[in-house]
Structure 1
Amino acid sequence: MTNYSYEPKNMKYGKISDNKSINTFIYNCFEYICEEDQRRFLKKFCKQPHNSKQIMHTFRELVLGAYLSSKGLRVRHEYVIDTQTPDWCILDDSLAVKCIVELVNFHIDKATEREIEEQLKTKDTIFFWRDQNKDNVDRLYHCIWDKIQVYKVLAKKLKVRILWPYLLIL
């Protein structure tokens, strides 16, 4: 993909994010996806509060699709298939779905999140040990499993794969 420090040539939608680096990265990602998907993302970015977890999920979805497209795959975001809208679909030359791609966000567990929030209220710095909660492997397994179950029937019907696990660490 394009180097994210590169300033986009065309900012046809104006400022999307208040963060200059993220704004630049969004426009660099837009270079790899179709106009219709660009507008879908623009609509989502405008709707979502910029301090929410959901906007980062949307940002990660965009990065994933742009990456897949940069590798020569024809991708579409939330491509409607039998009333379902996977994050991304990989299409063949005849626009038939070859693969369903779903992004899985794996967040820290609630107990650790609460502990961090408490430390932030009372201290200038925080400390936590990421392996303190030993159920992370089990949580990750179930997170991926739950996503697969949503599209399992559709994937079998279309005789396509669900692309997983595909790790994107941001």
Structure 2
Amino acid sequence: MTTPSIDLKQYIRGIPDFPKPGILFYDISTLMRNADAWQIAMGRLTAAVAPWSVDVLAAIESRGFLTAAPLASRLGCGLVMLRKPGKLPGETISYDYDLEYGKDSLHIQADAIVPGQRVVVMDDLLATGGTLAASIALLRKVGAEVVGAATLIELTGLGGRDRLDVPVKTLVAYDD
């Protein structure tokens, strides 16, 4: 199955100085609200991820939920959420990691993954790779076989892909 050859960048809005001065934020809400472009994006992600024979998609809070939910439905696989502390009910397992200016933590429900399940990590954007790398480490901690990572957008100039030891699929790349 092929998808029409449109440039998805024309549906992604750049917002300067958000969330702080000097940052150019790539807003996927403009992509999501265009039904045709969103369907094409999901079709392309499906084609990119399907060869990995995924059991479960692991969605990173919160914009990763937006891409992973429709993709899991298309692939016929499960979906688990990776969230900030205090957001998941029941017993959770955490992974603490360093950010450029501080620390953060990701959590997964203790029973979310059956050891050995093939998992792909999903987020909206790959920048420096810190959150994706932490997600992969957390998933391995609970016994997942992480077979890849996928995002809508990659900021190639920040080198995030180099921090990851799994294959990465992205739909749109920006050099800045």
By the TM > 0.5 criterion, same fold? no
Structure with the larger strand share: 2
Q: Given the two structures, how large is their TM-score scaled by the length of structure 1?
A: 0.29
